[in-house]
Amino acid sequence: MARIPASALRRYLLGGELSTRRCLRRNNQIPTRLCSQRIRAVHTSTDTDAADPSGTSNTIPFRKQLKDEAKARKSSVQKRSKSDNQRLDNWELTVGIEIHAQLNTARKLFSAAASTINDEPNTHVALFDVAMPGSQPVFQKETLIPAIRAALALNCKVQKSSRFDRKHYFHWDQPSGYQITQYYQPLAKDGYITLYAHDGIAKEDGDEIKIGIKQVQMEQDTAKTITTVEGEHLLDFNRVGLPLLEIITLPQIHYPQTAAALVRKVQILLNAVDACVLGMQSGGLRADVNVSVRRRDGQGEADNEYSGVKGLGQRTEIKNLSSFKAVEDAIIAERDRQIEVLESGGVIEGETRGWTIGSTETKRLRGKEGEVDYRYMPDPDLGPVIVGDDLLEHLQSTLGVLPDKEISILNETYGLTIKDAMSLVSLNEGGRVEYFRNVVDQLVLLSGDEDLRRLGRLAGNWVLHEMGGLASDAGEEGDALQMTSEGDCVIPDIQLSSLIHYLDSNQITGKTAKKLLPVLFENETKGVMKSVKDMIDEGGLWFIPLSDEQYEEIARSVVEAHPQQVEEVLGGGKKGKGKLNFLLGQMMRRDEEGRMDPQRATKVIEEVIEKSRK
Amino acid sequence: MLRASTNQGVRNVLFNYGKQADLNAFISRTPAPQDGKAPAEADVQARDPKKALISKHSRLLAVKDNIATANLPTTCGSGILQDHQSPFEATVTERLWHAGASIVGKTNLDEFGMGSHSTNSFFGPVRHDSFDERSVGGSSGGSAVAVAVQQCKVALGTDTGGSVRLPAAYTGVVGFKPSYGLIPRWGVVPYANSLDTVGILSAKVKNLFVLLQNAKGHDPRDPTSITDATWQRIKEGRKRSAIQSGRHGPFNKNIQNLKIGVPIEYNISELDPGIRQAWKNALKLFQEKGCTVVPVSLPNTKHALSAYYVIAPAEAASNLSKYDGVRYGTRSDSSDSAVDVLYSKTRGEGFGDEVKRRILLGSYTLSSEAIDNYFIKAQKVRRLVQRDFDRVFSLPNLLRPSEQFDLSDMDESVELDNKLGPSQVDFIVCPTAPTPPPTLDDISKQTPVDTYMNDVFTVPASLAGLPAISIPFPIPEEHQRPNTPAYAGIQIIGQYSDDHRLLETARLLENLRPGPVKFKISYFPVDSKSQRSPAEEKKKTPLIRKYISTDRKAKLPRKLRSQPRSQQEPDLDLDDAFKSWENLERPK
């Protein structure tokens, strides 16, 4: 684990010399990676000096040196917390992202075969899907609806006329030998996405940042390869030809965290407009990132131009990232690798790299010389797609409320915190918000109270936290609640809102309400139809306030049980006040059903103590 | 280029007996039923007799083997599909079957339609019925020979750059390429999608009407097939145009109004003298019938061939990427490991030389370094070729918004008819091929580029998507040579959607054509009576309309005529005119 440079070892063993300066410096420096030791040894003159026998004046025992080095290594290996690792002083990172999302459509892009997710392999395959000679593509125009919705949500200009092109490469999951995509004339161009602090962007980006969307295009998915234990590749053509949406951002992202926030936000937006089938974690969303670095002081060669952004360093592409964490981690790792190469005098090659989850380094997949020339050609069978203004207007007007708007409504009208609002919006593909709003609507009806902020906070707590607890207790992620994107849930909104209403109107205690929720959940899961009222009736759980006599009785028993504390209370002062609280706690403990009102209890016990003074 | 054994993989073809067995026109044949009836009869009986729309004479149908059929294999003449059984039937064969046609078999072709001589087939070359050592033309050579030797009444081919017209011209049959998108291509294995059309070959023009009628019409499975709505729009536009020009009504009543264009650029020096004479004679027959023959200019034609051989291979390279042996077709024993170049062995073994050549060509012209200079330029040339035709035809191309042609934009060689611009014509008449069918020996000595030269007259109509037909026409006796066919293919090209009138015009020429009414096409004798002496000629067509000067430089400033030409105006003297065109400067 601890690798001592051979030169240092040799110097110690053969000459009894130690390079102290290096040790000291390492401790002072920003932690760097292990191998940077070697790099510096080559490129900084001070280190070459360290090899000079003259540097022996300040000798430190070898054991200590090893210890220090190990310490330094430890601190460098220990990941800097990610939020600290966003900005480097000397280098600027630039990232552009391509996101692939599976469009939510009933049919494939160019055949009438149904789009399915986990059906029996090779059961939804049209002749064209397997490139049968003589078969032709037929554009399924319904696929435009979710695609245009997504483009509108990303503030893109939907093009009046767009076209399909063939991108050629051989792979067994690509039956035609080419993928039909939109290269020359994409569906939509020139959009942007606004990321706010609450979206989780790097703090260096401030409160909000706008990232340009270069284009949004439609393309075909590939077949699914299933590799058997024997090493055979089985192909499932159900997936081939499914419509994908590719979203390409401009290289305007400078922090890894912002990149991850962008991907997350795109997913939220796509869900909000019902354009996308599955979330990133389920494989419905994949991202490729283009990473380059340049010196902040403008030195070094950085004269590449990508998507109209000039003066960038040579970029590399990391393919197929399938989680937000992977996006951030891969960018950090690739950024650090590029800086390391450049600082050691190397040159970044334009290449494609891969990332496996949990690793610390990106891996080279193929270099420029191995790059495929895709030989883009307009598909001669497919005419242009013409999008009429009427369709655009209709889709724009039926787009619904986008998440950013939704969050501000939840925050301002319903009194939720931004954090809770974000969680609500991102859960169940927007279904949780629907559910929340239904619950609040019911509460307004039940209580007659119009204070949406108060009711919103109340409902928010239950819909988000209490119900969230249920789901995690059940152990199945989100699925236990069976929440749909329309806001239907295994616990009907009317049931939950009446439960909250009983609590809100002091008809049951908070303790009771919390106890009832899992019972309600279990009943509904099993299909037992029972109203909340019946459940409270059966359990005799209605809140009956304690009578004055009962309060007094409990207070007296507490006072009798703790004479010493009573004395101290009577003694007054700060100490006395503390003891009063202790006695109050004792009172509350004696009320197992949680019916005791603390304010009244305080009043009663104070009276009882006063009485005991006499 | 040829496979070592011509019999390699050849199926048991019942029709290939005797002399015809050597012709290798068929790759597979519908087997005869046990009851002794002819296969076609039995086939027809299985259907509703009322649906047998096609006359008995055109029931027997041969189908080029790149059109998918569910009952017979569809090999495309390729090794990689040598055992391919299509799971579905092409629209065109399905429609014709419903109309009463019986498929007698699948005909041999250049692999995937790539070739001009039907010599590039995995199943061996197709041979000429009468001139053994000569090319039958390609790529629909099997279909042409099957018609020529009467193994079927009609045959389906595909025409990408002349693949129906060229073999028709070489074998002495009629070959018709309809407007692009008229007959659906669903089931037609694509060579170059933007050019591919299903074509029909037959001994006589009259058989084509009913076949076209039954085969055409929109198929939603083919995105390039003309929709009913578009066709309706075109129909209305045609009607307007006909009324405007005062030539609506039946074709026969308007023959005197017919204007035939002679493209001066087609009179190339390489043109065989016999074929040139046949061309002139055909034009004269139109003149005699009262049609007006005028010269027209298609200045961009000279680039058409190069553009074609960029566009077609590019699309072909793309289309042929699907043959990897994974889902169908032959597959080599080598592994598909990603370490090696994927499928290189399967594709290397499965494709023939010409196909490989065009894949390489196409892959290059589409590559990022070459696409701007080749593929995109070629597409621009294609548009120019289309504009050339649109300018020349009096009927507008109703697929495109009408275009104003600025006189100042026009090439200097374009002759003006009146102050409104150059004369506009109904049809263009020119040879189908510049020479009689070359000998196989000559072909084997040619470079691939030389063999592409045969398509020089057929490619422009393909690039523009126009209907064109080749019909056999006798070569005058004095130009006939031994062991060479005594006929030439005369091509008639019409404006987009003018298919029906094109067939009428072809039928007219067929009827005017000298010779006995019932001649055997392959050997039809030349009627010397049709050849008038030059003296007679002079008498009949006075030399007045000589507005083509021999000196190009000194040639007319645009000739503006104040009066439109009347019917009484004398006809163009073709001999003179041709002579003057021969002296035109021509870029190499």
Q: Give me the residue from A176, A235, A381 closest to B223, CB to CB.
A: A381
pLDDT band at A184 (very low <50, low <70, confident <90, very high): very high
Q: Which of residues 129-168 of A touch B (CB under 8 A)?
A: 130-139, 166, 168
Q: Is the pLDDT of residue B585 over 70?
A: no
Phi, psi for A157 (deg, rounded to 5): -90, 110
What DSSP letter does each residue of A456-524 carry, written as one string? HHHHHIIIIIIHHHHHHHHTSTTGGGT--TTS--SS-HHHHHHHHHHHHTTSS-HHHHHHHHHHHHHHH
pLDDT for position A348: 84
Chosen for mutation from A110, A132, A365 (greatest number of chain B CBs closer than 10 Å) is A132
Q: Is the pLDDT of residue B344 over 70?
A: yes
Q: Is B163 a catalytic residue?
A: yes
Say if residue B521 is exposed, middle or buried (CB neighbours under 10 Å; 0-12, 13-18, 19+). Answer: buried
Contact A99, A285 (CB under 8 A): yes
Tokens of A239: 């997936």
Tokens of A470: 């249920």
Q: Is the pLDDT of residue B304 over 90?
A: yes
Q: Is the pLDDT of residue A532 over 50?
A: yes
A525 touches chain B (CB under 8 A): no
pLDDT for position B69: 95
pLDDT for position A13: 56
Give the rounded percent of residues in chain B with a pLDDT score beyond 90: 55
Q: Is the pLDDT of residue B126 over 70?
A: yes
When comparing pLDDT for A453 and B396, which is higher?
A: B396
Residues of A in contact with B188 (CB under 8 A): 134
Average pLDDT of the residues in A581-594: 79
Q: Do B88 and A135 touch (CB under 8 A)?
A: yes
Indicate the average pLDDT of chain A: 80
The neighbouring-strand residues paired with A93 are A293
Q: Is the pLDDT of residue B16 over 80?
A: no
pLDDT band at B460 (very low <50, low <70, confident <90, very high): very high
Average pLDDT of the residues in B283-300: 92
Q: Is the pLDDT of residue A458 over 60?
A: yes
When comparing pLDDT for A431 and A29, which is higher?
A: A431
Give the residue from chain B lying closest to A170, CA to CA.
B342
Among B6-20, B57-71, B102-116, the minimum mean pLDDT is found in B6-20
Closest-CA distance, B361 to chain A, in angstroms, reads 12
Average pLDDT of the residues in A146-158: 93
Residues of B in contact with A235 (CB under 8 A): 326
Helical H segments across B99-174, by residue range: 141-148, 165-171
Q: Give me the residue from A131, A136, A377 closest to B322, CB to CB.
A: A131
Residues of A in contact with B90 (CB under 8 A): 134
Q: Shortest CA distance to A257 belongs to which of A310, A201, A341, A300?
A: A201
Q: Is the pLDDT of residue A87 over 70?
A: yes
Q: Which of residues 379-398 of A touch B (CB under 8 A)?
A: 380-383
Dist CA B523 CA B173 (whole Å): 11
- In this structure, chain A runs to a length of 614
Average pLDDT of the residues in B231-246: 89
Q: Is the pLDDT of residue A24 over 50?
A: no
Dist CA A490 CA A484 (whole Å): 9
Indicate the average pLDDT of chain B: 81
Give the residue from chain A lying closest to B366, CA to CA.
A375
- Domain B3-247+428-512 CATH superfamily: Amidase signature (AS) domain (3.90.1300.10)
pLDDT band at B132 (very low <50, low <70, confident <90, very high): confident
Phi, psi for B340 (deg, rounded to 5): -85, 180
Give the rounded percent of residues in chain B with a pLDDT score beyond 70: 76
One-letter identity of residue A573: G
When comparing pLDDT for B405 and A249, which is higher?
A: A249
Tokens of B337: 């490991």
Where does A197-315 show beta strands of DSSP type E? 208-220, 224-227, 233-236, 243-249, 285-295, 304-306, 309-312
- As a 3-state breakdown, chain A gives helix, strand, coil percent values, each rounded to 5, of 45, 15, 35
What is the tens place of the pLDDT at every residue in A252-277?
999 998 999 999 888 888 888 888 87
Residues of B in contact with A175 (CB under 8 A): 322, 326-327
Contact A55, A17 (CB under 8 A): yes
Average pLDDT of the residues in A95-113: 92
User: Which one of A288-292, A356-360, B64-68, B136-140 scores highest in mean pLDDT?
Assistant: B64-68
pLDDT for position B253: 85
When comparing pLDDT for A340 and B432, which is higher?
A: B432
pLDDT for position B500: 95
Tokens of B315: 């699309």
Give the residue from chain A lying closest to B75, CA to CA.
A133
Among A14-23, A198-207, B347-356, the minimum mean pLDDT is found in A14-23
Tokens of A585: 């706690």
Average pLDDT of the residues in A584-605: 79
Helical H segments across B141-268, by residue range: 141-148, 165-171, 206-215, 228-244
Q: Is B55 a catalytic residue?
A: no
pLDDT for position B1: 33
Q: Shortest CA distance to B330 belongs to which of B80, B65, B10, B8?
A: B80
Q: Can you list the domains of chain A with their CATH numbers?
A: 6-78 (no CATH), 91-378 (no CATH), 401-539 (no CATH), 548-613 (1.10.10)
Closest-CA distance, A373 to chain B, in angstroms, reads 6
Q: Do A137 and B221 touch (CB under 8 A)?
A: no
Residues of B in contact with A137 (CB under 8 A): 223
Q: Is the pLDDT of residue A159 over 50?
A: yes
Average pLDDT of the residues in A85-112: 88
Q: Give me the residue from A132, A136, A172 closest to B223, CB to CB.
A: A136
Q: Is the pLDDT of residue B241 over 70?
A: yes
pLDDT for position A352: 84
Contact B74, B28 (CB under 8 A): no
Q: Give me the residue from B187, B223, B314 closest to A134, CB to CB.
A: B187
Among A600-614, B99-113, B333-347, B422-436, the minimum mean pLDDT is found in B333-347
Residue A14: DSSP 8-state: I
Q: Which of residues 91-130 of A touch B (CB under 8 A)?
A: 127, 130
Dist CA A346 CA A39 (whole Å): 11
Q: Do A375 and B220 touch (CB under 8 A)?
A: no
pLDDT for position A310: 81
A225 touches chain B (CB under 8 A): no
pLDDT band at A61 (very low <50, low <70, confident <90, very high): low
Residue A213: DSSP 8-state: E
When comparing pLDDT for A317 and B535, which is higher?
A: A317
Residues of B in contact with A109 (CB under 8 A): none
What is the tens place of the pLDDT at every residue in B511-534?
998 864 333 443 333 333 344 444
User: Which one of A325-329, A403-407, A596-600 scores highest in mean pLDDT?
Assistant: A325-329
Tokens of B575: 């001999």
Q: Is the pLDDT of residue B569 over 80?
A: no
One-letter identity of residue B395: L
Cα dihedral sign, A427-A432-A436-A437: positive
Average pLDDT of the residues in B269-278: 91
- Domain boundaries, given as residue ranges, for chain B: 3-247+428-512
pLDDT for position B144: 96
Inter-chain CB pairs, A–B, below 8 Å: 99
Contact B512, B506 (CB under 8 A): no
pLDDT band at B588 (very low <50, low <70, confident <90, very high): very low
Q: Give me the residue from B67, B74, B318 closest to A377, CB to CB.
A: B318
Angstrom CA distances, A585 to A67, A515, A582, A605, stand at 53, 22, 5, 11
pLDDT for position A464: 83
pLDDT for position B580: 75
Say if residue B565 is exposed, middle or buried (CB neighbours under 10 Å; 0-12, 13-18, 19+). Answer: middle
Helical H segments across A142-250, by residue range: 144-153
What is the tens place of the pLDDT at every residue in B22-42?
789 999 988 765 555 555 555
Q: Is B102 a catalytic residue?
A: no
Among B214-223, B401-410, B483-492, the minimum mean pLDDT is found in B401-410
When comparing pLDDT for B207 and A564, which is higher?
A: B207
Q: Do A134 and B324 touch (CB under 8 A)?
A: no
Q: Is the pLDDT of residue A32 over 50?
A: no
Among A567-581, B87-101, B401-415, B443-457, the minimum mean pLDDT is found in B401-415
pLDDT band at B493 (very low <50, low <70, confident <90, very high): very high
Q: Do A178 and B318 touch (CB under 8 A)?
A: yes
Q: Do B87 and A375 touch (CB under 8 A)?
A: no
Among A226-230, A384-388, B291-295, B308-312, the minimum mean pLDDT is found in A226-230
Catalytic residue among B86, B163, B179, B423: B163
Contact A355, A363 (CB under 8 A): yes
Dist CA A259 CA A193 (whole Å): 12
Q: Do B86 and A133 touch (CB under 8 A)?
A: yes
User: Which one of A91-100, A431-440, A485-494, B562-571 scores highest in mean pLDDT?
Assistant: A91-100
Q: Is the pLDDT of residue A377 over 90?
A: yes
